Structure 1
Amino acid sequence: MGAMVLGGFGLGASAREVTAKIAHARLWRNESGAWFLDADLNMERFPPMWEDLLQRGIELPLRLELMLYRERWYWSDQLVYGKFWRITIRYRPVTQDWLLSVGESTHAFYDRESLMQALRKIRAWPVAGDIFNPLTDVRAELKLAVDLSRSPQTVRATALGNDDYVWVVEPYRWYPWRER
C-alpha cells in the first residue's frame, strides 16, 4: 500500500472496483459482562475518488454498523440491537500525517501503511454492557460504508448521482452464539 503511487489510480474507476471486505468478526464478553467487537477488514486502499479527496485534505467519513437480528420474527427479521461507530480518516498535506478518529478518540499516524494496519484490525471496540442475552437464533451483521451525510456540502452536492463517491463494503453476517 505504501509503495503504491496515487497517480496510478484512474479517477474514472468506480468505487465498487475497490475490493474490501470484512474477513472475520466476533462478539465477546469480558469478566464484568460487557460486550466487545473484534473484526478483521481486508482492504488495501480506498476508492480512487476518496484517495484523491484525502490527498487534498478532505476527510473520509465512514460508518461501521453492527446489527443483531432475531430471525423470522413473524414476517421479517426483528432488529434486537444496533450499534454504530463513526470513523473519520484525514490526511494533513502540510505535515504529511494521517489521523484516524473513532468517536471522540483520535490517533495520529506518520505513514499510510500504519493507518491501514490500525483500520484493518478492530480490537475490543465496546458494543454494550450486560444488556442482552446471547440467544442462538440471533444473526449479527457488520457493515462498513462511506457516510456522505458527514461530508462537506460541496462533496455531497458533487456526489449526487455519482457512484464514484458511494462505497459500501459487503456486509459480514454470522451467528455469534451458535455452536459450530
Structure 2
Amino acid sequence: MTASTTPCWKRRLERFVALGFGLLVTVLAWAGSIQPKGAEVVPDERGWAVNAEFDVELGARLVDAVGKGVPLHFRFEVQIKRKRWYWIDEHLAGRVVNYRLSYQTLTRQYRLAVGSLYQNFDTLEAALTALGHIRRLHVADAGTLPQGESLAAAVRLSLDQNQLPKPLQIDALANDDWRVDARTLSWQFVPQPEPQ
C-alpha cells in the first residue's frame, strides 16, 4: 500500500509561507521611524525660536545596539526660506543641532547629550521622548525675518548613520534594520511683530 505525502508537504509549505509572512510583518513593524507631530516658529527674547515635536521609534537592532554601549547620534535641522518664483529660494535662517544618545552601564541610565551638556534617564523611552521634544531653540536674530511676509519653514530629526562605528556603517549599507525613516515637516508662516 502506498500513501501520498503531497498533501502533508503542501500544508507544511503553506504554514512556512504564513510564518515567513508573519515574521516579515513583525520586522517591518519594528523598523525605526521618526515622525514629526508638529512644529512652529515663535518669537523669543533674541529674535525667533522653533518648537518641534517628534515621535521617535528605534528599530529592534538599534535598541539592542544602544543597550550594548553603541552611541547613537541624531541630527535636528531647521531651515527658514523665502520662496521666490524667479530664482531659487532665499535661505534666511537655519540651525543644526547634534544629539548623542548612549547607555551608561555603571549607572544603568541612558544619557542624552548636546555638546558638553547632558541629561540622564532611567529608561530608553524617556530619553527618546526628551529627544523628540525641542523647545525654544533659537534660530534667527531679531530683524532677520521680514515681518508680514509668508515664509517657508522645515524641520527634520534624523539618525546620523555617518557617526556609527565603521563596521556598523558597512552593515547599515546592506541591512535596513540600521535605518530609521525620518520625514521632513514643512509649513508656511508669517512672522508677526511683537506687541509693544
Normalised by the size of structure 1, how large is the TM-score?
0.78
What's 2:118 paired with?
A: 106
Please tell me the residue identity of whatever aligns with 1:159: A
Q: Does 1:95 align with 2:104?
A: no
Which is greater in Rg?
2
How many residue pairs get matched? 168
**Residue 73 of structure 1: how far off its partner (Å):** 4.5
Please tell me the residue identity of whatever aligns with 1:36: A
Q: Deviations over 1:29-57 (max 9, x none)?
A: 223x33222111123x3122211211111
Please tell me the root mean square deviation across aligned C-alpha atoms, in Å.
2.7
Q: Does 1:34 align with 2:75?
A: no
Task: Report the 3-state secondary structure (helix = DSSP H, G, I; strand = E; otherwise coil) of the residue aligned with 1:13.
Answer: helix
Task: Report the 3-state secondary structure (helix = DSSP H, G, I; strand = E; otherwise coil) of the residue aligned with 1:132.
Answer: coil
Distance of 1:93 and 1:152 partners within structure 2: 19
Q: Deviations over 1:48-104 (max 9, x none)?
A: 221121111101111011012222453543333321110111112342100001233
What's 1:146 paired with?
A: 159
What's 2:66 paired with?
A: 54
Q: Does 1:137 align with 2:141?
A: no
Q: Aligned in 2, Cα 1:168/1:79: closer, same or farther, shift over 3 Å?
A: farther
Specify every segment of 5 or more residues in structure 1 that has no aligned partner in the other structure, as ranges: 1-8
Instruction: Tell me, yes or no, if the aligned pair for 1:15 and 1:166 is still in contact at 8 Å.
Output: no
Instruction: Tell me, yes or no, if the aligned pair for 2:32 and 2:179 is still in contact at 8 Å.
Output: no
Instruction: Tell me, yes or no, if the aligned pair for 1:15 and 1:165 is still in contact at 8 Å.
Output: no
Distance of 1:130 and 1:14 partners within structure 2: 45
Instruction: Tell me, yes or no, if the aligned pair for 2:151 and 2:190 is still in contact at 8 Å.
Output: yes
Task: Report the 3-state secondary structure (helix = DSSP H, G, I; strand = E; otherwise coil) of the residue aligned with 1:175.
Answer: strand
What's 1:79 paired with?
A: 91
Higher percent of residues as helix: 2
Distance of 2:92 and 2:29 partners within structure 1: 31
Instruction: Tell me, yes or no, if the aligned pair for 2:152 and 2:189 is still in contact at 8 Å.
Output: yes
Matches within 5 A, 1:148-167: 148-167=161-180
Please tell me the residue identity of whatever aligns with 2:160: D
Instruction: Tell me, yes or no, if the aligned pair for 2:34 and 2:180 is still in contact at 8 Å.
Output: no
Distance of 2:74 and 2:174 partners within structure 1: 19
Q: 1:21 aligns with which of 23, 35, 53?
A: 35
**Residue 131 of structure 1: how far off its partner (Å):** 5.3
What's 2:136 paired with?
A: 124
